[in-house]
Amino acid sequence: MKARIPITLLVAALVFFGGFAGLFIAPDEATMHEIQRIFYFHVPLWTAMTLALSISCFSCIAWLVSRRATFDLLAVAGAEVGVLCCTGGLITGMLWGKPVWGIWWTWDARLTSTFVLWLLYISYLLLRELIEDPHRRATLSAVFGVFAYLDLPIVLLSTTLWRTQHPQPVLFGGPKSINHTMLMVFLLCMVAIVGVMILILIDRYRLERLRFELDELRVEIESREMDAQQLPAKQAVPGKELPAKGTA
Amino acid sequence: MKALRATWTLFAKECRLEFRTRELLTATVVFSLIIIVFFSFAFDPTPAESRRYGPGLLWIAFFFAGSLMVNPSFAREQINDTLDALRMAPVPSFAVLSAKILANLLFLSIAEAILVPVFSVFYNVSLVGIVGRLILVLVLGTVGLVITGTVFSAISAHARMRELLLPVLLLPFLTPVLIAAVSTTISLFGDARELDRTWVTFLAGFDIVFLAASWILSDFLAEG
């Protein structure tokens, strides 16, 4: 992992320049002014979350099909980083909502479905904590992971049919076009935040792998200890006990 | 054909187990009744408010009771290691799952059949003229609940604190069913007494998607 330090430095620089550009370079927005600048951090967090959760779902399916431990570790890393991004997205959304809507929270379609998504993945992580056996934990949480991911579009559809008041997308399919500088700053922030997500994901994956290896070593030590205890009993023939230490 | 026969045999086993004691059914009905009564204490609704909030109350009672009711489906198979016997039986794993889904569907439907008339009397909500359509909504909502509930009970059966874990897994997952079922029931209880077709289609879609997902993933569930 020699590339680790330069990559981390690169992402740090991107975050610095992205943050600076978002706060000071991007032009003032006509209706919301300064408040709108949170958009450069809020929207990339959702992109990062979608990516992390998609990696998690893909890994769940890959584990069920291939049974390679890597995918199970990647699934939990993806889900955890996804929850982190989701929490960040919810908090930045609330910070924006208070001055613009006048309230911290409203039961609008996107907000509600995101909150349900957050709850679903928190319960996924909880499920993993509560199952002891590693193989069983991997399989059962993978099944839940696939179910949860399948549920996401259905939750979004149901809450959209229920109600919506969130601003409509400005980039894809939105009615208005976006200022060129704004777009550049937005893309820079997007790359920076997705970069941070990927760095955390890789670190989380490595931590999980170390845990996995530690568990395997523990199991091996235990099995060796059990063998060592059973061995003298097997060798002990009546009348020919092994001499006790110090008497030989 | 073999799978169908196996499902039927296992379904009959589930029913025999339950109807010998009826403990699950009794507890579910009493628990839902408590929620319905508590709602009255907490909000003291007028008849108009009952029509507006009653459907939500009714479905919350069913969801909470259902999430507790499906818990023993797999958990009680562990007491005498009968889950291992089921796994070794020469039947498809989906037959085991679907027998439990059908059994839970039957038990929860019986509970609902008792609770809906009680609700209608307690809250002065007339069911005249809407019984058939209400049954359709109840069946679609309950099918969604028991399919995912039974699958998640197979998952949580192997976890610590499974009684608490199952509702935590299940209830956020069922948000779309809750929204759809409550919205349809509100439109049925309203002055127009109409069935909202969009939500009915949505409920049917949810049931089909997750029935298919359970079928595809049932082998992994059995192995877990």
Query: What's the confidence (pLDDT) of residue A245?
Result: 45
Tell me the pLDDT tens digit for each residue of A59-71. Answer: 999 999 999 999 9
**B161 in contact with chain A, both atoms CB, cutoff 8 A:** yes
Domains identified in chain B, total number: 1
Residues above pLDDT 90, as percent of chain A:
49
ipTM score: 0.90
Q: Considering chain B, what is the average pLDDT of its residues?
A: 89
In chain B, what is the greatest distance between 2 CA atoms, to the nearest angstrom? 57
Terminal CA-CA length for chain B: 26
Interface check for B159 against chain A (CB to CB < 8 A): the answer is yes
Tell if the CB–CB gap between B165 and A158 is shorter than 8 Å. no
Residues contacting B189, CB < 8 A, separation 6+: B51, B54, B55, B125, B130
User: For the residues A164-183, what does the mean pLDDT come to?
Assistant: 66
B153 alpha carbon, distance to own chain's centre: 12
The model's pTM is 0.87
Q: Is the pLDDT of residue B84 over 80?
A: yes
pLDDT above 60 (res B22): yes
CB-based contact B103:B96 (threshold 8 Å)? no
Interchain contact A32–B (C-beta under 8 A): no
pLDDT at B196 over 50: yes
Chain A contact present for B53, CB below 8 A: no
Tokens 């209608």 belong to B120
pLDDT value at A218 more than 50: yes
**How near does any CA of chain A get to the CA of B158, in Å?**
6
**Which of A110, A131, A163 is best to mutate for the B interface (most B CBs within 10 A)?**
A131
Mind telling me how many Å the CA of B19 is from chain A's nearest CA?
A: 30
Q: Tell me which of A127, A132, A160 to substitute to probe the interface with B (most B C-beta atoms closer than 10 Å).
A: A127
Question: What is the radius of gyration, based on Cα positions, of chain B?
Answer: 18
Structural contact between residues A44 and A194, judged by C-beta atoms closer than 8 angstroms = yes
Average pLDDT over residues A105-111: 85
**pLDDT at A242 > cutoff 50:** no
**Mean local confidence (pLDDT), B74-88:** 83
pLDDT at A175 over 70: no
C-alpha torsion angle, residues A97, A100, A102, A106 (rounded to 10): -40
Select from A64, A137, A147, A149 the residue whose CB has the most chain B CBs within 10 Å, as the one to mutate to test that interface.
Answer: A147
Q: Which helix (H) or strand (E) is B95 found in, with range?
A: helix B93-122
Contacts of B155 in chain A (CB under 8 A): 127, 140-141, 143-144
pLDDT(A231) > 70? yes
Structure tokens at A71: 């995918």
Tokens of A183: 């777009």
Query: Is the model's pLDDT at A171 over the cut of 70?
Result: no
Structure confidence at residue A35 as a pLDDT band (50, 70, 90): confident
Q: Is B198 on the interface with A (CB under 8 A)?
A: yes
Under a CB-based contact definition with an 8 Å cutoff, are residues A104 and A97 in contact? yes
Is it the case that residue A247 has pLDDT exceeding 70? no
Q: What is the mean pLDDT of residues A133-156?
A: 91
What is the mean predicted confidence (pLDDT) over A102-109? 86
Which pLDDT belongs to residue A88?
94
- The parent domain of residue B155 ranges over 2-223
In chain A, residues with a C-beta closer than 8 Å to the C-beta of B206 are 154
Percent of chain A with pLDDT over 70: 87
* B129 band by pLDDT with thresholds 50, 70 and 90: confident
DSSP category for residue B69: H
Q: How far apart are CA B19 and CA B122, in angstroms?
A: 28
The proportion of chain B whose per-residue pLDDT surpasses 90, expressed as a percent, equals 50
pLDDT band at B214 (very low <50, low <70, confident <90, very high): very high
Q: Are A75 and A212 in contact (CB under 8 A)?
A: no
Largest CA distance in chain A: 97
Query: Is there a contact between A70 and A55 (Cβ–Cβ < 8 Å)?
Result: no
Residue A59 to residues A114, A146, B55, B221, Cα–Cα distance (Å): 21, 10, 39, 17
CB contacts of A153 in chain B (<8 Å) are: none
Q: Among A57-66, B160-169, B185-194, which is the least confidently predicted range?
A: B185-194
* Average confidence score pLDDT of chain A: 85
pLDDT at A246: 44
CB A78, CB A56: distance < 8 Å: yes
Q: Cβ of B173 and A148 within 8 Å?
A: yes
Contacts of B136 (CB under 8 A, 6+ apart): B195, B200
Tokens 């009546």 belong to which residue? Answer: A238
The pLDDT of B166-185, averaged and rounded, is 93
pLDDT band at residue A126 using 50, 70 and 90 as cut-offs: very high
**Which among A212, A231, A116, A141 is positioned nearest to B154, based on CA atoms?**
A141
Residue A172: what pLDDT? 55
3-state SS string for chain A? CCCHHHHHHHHHHHHHHHHHHHHHHCCCCCCCHHHHHHHHHHHHHHHHHHHHHHHHHHHHHHHHHHCCHHHHHHHHHHHHHHHHHHHHHHHHHHHHHHHHHCCCCCCCHHHHHHHHHHHHHHHHHHHHHHCCCHHHHHHHHHHHHHHHHHHHHHHHHHHHHHCCCCCCCCCCCCCCCCCHHHHHHHHHHHHHHHHHHHHHHHHHHHHHHHHHHHHHHHHHHHHHHHHHHHHHHHHCCCCCCCCCCCCC
Our CA-based measurement puts residue B20 at a distance from the nearest CA of chain A, in whole angstroms, of 31
* Amino acid at position A241, single letter: E
Question: Cβ contacts of residue B81 below 8 Å, gap of 6+?
Answer: none
CB environment B176-203: b (16+ within 10 A), e (fewer): bbbbbbbbbbbbbbeeeeebbeebbebb
Using the predicted structure, report yes or no on whether residue A238 has a pLDDT greater than 70.
no
**pLDDT at position A228, please?**
87
Mean pLDDT of B99-128: 91
What pLDDT is attached to residue A23?
85
What pLDDT is stored for residue A237 in this prediction? 52
The rounded distance, in Å, linking the Cα atoms of A28 and A25 is 9
What are B193's two structure tokens?
């007494």
